[in-house]
Amino acid sequence: MRRLLAVLAAGVPLAAAVYLPTASAEPRTSATAPHGCTTTSVKAPSGTRVESVTAVRQEGGTVHGSGILGGTVTGVPAYCEVTVTLTHPGDGDHARIRTWLPVTGWNGRLQALGGAAFSAGDNGAGLATAVKNGYAATTTDAGVGDALDVGWALNGQGQVNTALLKNFASRSQHEAALVGKEVVDAVYGRPASYSYFTGCSTGGRQGYMEAQRYPDDYDGILADAPAVNWNRYELATLWPQVVMNNEKTYVAGCKLEAFTAAAVNACDTLDGARDGLVDDASRCDFDPRRLIGTKVLCEGKELTVTAADAAVVRKIWDGPRTASGRKLWSGVPVGADLKGLAGTAPDADGNLKGAPFQVPAHWTASWVKKDPSFDVSTITYGQFTELFQQAVAEYGDLMDTDDPDLSAFRMSGGKLLTWHGQADQYIPPQGTVDYHRRVVRETGSAKKVDDFYRLFLAPNTDHCGLDGKDGSADGLAALTAWVEHGKAPRTLPATLVNAEGKQLDRNLCAYPEVSRYRGHGDPSLATSFRCVLPSRH
């Protein structure tokens, strides 16, 4: 997952890199092998027509992920690759569903993989990881492009391509579930015993969409850092640029880092221990004005934090508001890397200018304004409110996955597990927290929700960050134990990385509980903390 940072360093930011769940759930021994990697007939899901079906045996080895996200997976066993291309008659689309099936050692499970940014599915690296861990795996490209490819947004008449947007929003994921299961049954001669969906960011949004709209598709859904409330959060992630442009103040990256470091230091002991982590970042009320006058070393130059700098950071942390002060959405969480959304770059004269995050910039220009050449740096505070309201009104029903009614998913026996980094620089975790609260209200009690849906917040963890390099958590193992053995996860064991870069073991608490230091013991060990309700914190 940390490929995201590599891509950012190259100047190409994304909402999320390829999501590779650890998938260390103990596989069941199985001698089942494909009857033969040959083309099989596939029943077209309702409203579609099958254009083609191909089957190719792949010898495995090293698999390279395609597109801008790339990625390399080694030691991949031989697998059968079945590709089914669907079209929706009259729409002119061509959605490709790929299913990879290990030739030997199949664990009896199907894992579907979600996408990243504007890609609807996996680029091959996630499929390879799933196969390496014994899963049959499936994904769809929904007929759209790579992670930053938005050329499909508008048709030749400059109108939104609603067919492809519907594919991207929901229907292609559901069709992949149906086709993937059918291919597994045809190739192995028996259906998968359990089916799972895994994804982060865009993939997390897709997971929530599945639970809300197609509750019978999967037994378990691992949907991390989910882009729920798509239209609200997408526009909200432009807010830092809107603030800098309107205030005519562009804060250097080193100053932004100083604000974050000061906030983390000030709120470190909220959990009872000075451990370099801010637990429950929403309770951190550090005032950026405390840094006014502070000297910061930036690339050999000493800069002074100004009142204008502090005012900009305060607005960014607070989040977008209307001219009358009504809050529209959450801001960048305290402790998150402000450079993700408040990025800057020098112009030809060496003066700092805003460098907007490409995902919300593309969404605003191509879908909301319907003009790919639209310059988002021209947006005033008043225009921002108008665009925000327009996006919600125009695309809310199609793109948002914030329906709190999960009764059908609950009745189907499905389980939904989510972790979200409290230092997520791209998708504010408060949106996920708010959704969970609304599900509790809709369902009637927290206890009922705990039976099928659990949320874990990870301190000092950035967007899709628990990937095994800058922290880790085996959400898929926890999910399979819950689905297959009824072992609901009260905590989610994780390795976190604190502000000093030190690895710490923690048991992430199931929301609404938070972590609290016991008052004794090594702060780097999970056993030194317990989970308590915030009222006792």
Give the catalytic positions in this structure.
201, 424, 463
Tokens of 516: 């609290």
- For residues 200 and 195, give the distance between their C-alpha atoms in angstroms, rounded to a whole number: 17
The dihedral region occupied by 5, where left means phi > 0, alpha psi between -120 and 50, and beta the remainder, is: alpha
**Distances 525 to 120, 350, 467 between C-alpha atoms, Å:** 38, 47, 20
Residues 6+ apart with CB under 8 A from 269: none
The continuous run of DSSP H or E covering 198 comes out as strand 194-200
**Distances 532 to 227, 267, 270, 282, 517 between C-alpha atoms, Å:** 28, 18, 13, 16, 10
Strand partners, 351: none
String of DSSP letters for 76-122: EPPEEEEEEEEE-TTT---EEEEEEEESS---SEEEEE--BTTB-S-
The gap between the terminal CA atoms of the chain, to the nearest Å, is 32
- For residues 397 and 393, give the distance between their C-alpha atoms in angstroms, rounded to a whole number: 8
Asked if residue 96 lies in contact with residue 103, where contact means CB atoms within 8 angstroms, the answer is no
Tokens of 469: 């390099």
- For residues 171 and 342, give the distance between their C-alpha atoms in angstroms, rounded to a whole number: 34
